[in-house]
Amino acid sequence: MEKIEHKMVAVNGLNMHVAELGQGPIVLFIHGFPELWYSWRHQMVYLAERGYRAVAPDLRGYGDTTGAPLNEPAKFSIFHLVGDLVALLEAIDPNEDNVFVVAHDWGAIIAWNLCLFRPDKVKALVNLSVHFFQRNPHMNFVEGFKALYGEDHYIPRFQVPGEIEAEFAPYGAKAVLKKFLTYRDPAPFYFPKGRGLDAIPDAPAALSSWLSEEELDYYASKFEKTGFTSAVNYYRALPLDWELTAPWTGAQVKVPTKFITSEFDLVYHIPGAKEYIHNGGFKKDVPLLEEVVVIEGAAHFVNQERPDEINKHIYDFIQKF
């Protein structure tokens, strides 16, 4: 871990913090919510030891990346997020045609769209937790989740600027992060108004076995500095994303892909998700999908909970190319 290098790279109007380790073909790691480059610490070391250059940025508005306009959710659109990464790749290695991409959660959403918008940039993709969502021409993502789960579901609850931040504030960043990162229930997140974090049951253990106090403190130290607004802005931009991605309705992801999910991942338990993933819908939308893996006994943050298994799954796939 101590060998990981940190640098700032000017990309797309941001000062992007990038963690890097190793020499060789680039593997770009894209983190999710509410995470950081640090979520990939185990994978970076493993792949660097096997001849790859692991590159993990703090995404727009996260961690030590600065320059994102905090109070403008429209500046967190999927086009900004993909654009940041295309610019980053150009900045760190203008001679490399395409790279391996490994992504989780919100990072997976960004990665699917990177493959839609710029398939020339991606040699192969390993996506964790969030399967491809084909654009629904009749209803945006937020309205879709409201229809499925009601107004108290976290995605609808994240929409009003300042509201969820005010509910999180009394708890402090560490308590908020602990609730999210140790969540192991396949049921969805609900935030009924006025109940804040108390609506989410505590994880059974004091901390999940994979997340030490020291590791949680690292996350907390960054979110104490940035707050949660930028991270939540990704959700606030979803209706805009839906409008802007109309040209890609029905488009396929044509990049060699491996998908990994977990038995207790809440995304895997969205109504219809398992049928889509296993019964042909996913393969139709992602024709170069080579493998789907379900990690038994694991929950949403699988790359941190089961690093050894995930490391091997990533390596086994990318070393074929």
235 carries an active-site annotation:
yes
Active site residue: 38, 183, 234, 235, which one?
A: 235
105 carries an active-site annotation:
yes
Are the beta carbons of 121 and 99 closer than 8 angstroms?
A: yes
Active site residue: 17, 31, 300, 313, which one?
A: 300
Phi, psi for residue 282 in degrees, rounded to 5: -60, -45
Active site residue: 58, 64, 84, 105, which one?
A: 105
Structure tokens at 261: 């999910």
Report DSSP letters for 83-148, one per residue. HHHHHHHHHH-TT---EEEEEETHHHHHHHHHHHH-GGGEEEEEEES-------TTS-HHHHHHHH
Cα–Cα distance measured from residue 320 to residue 307, given in angstroms and rounded to the nearest whole number: 20
Helix-then-strand count for the chain, H and E: 14, 8
234 carries an active-site annotation:
no
- Determine whether 255 is exposed, middle or buried from the number of CB atoms within 10 Å of its CB (0-12, 13-18, 19+): buried
Q: Which residues are catalytic?
A: 105, 235, 300
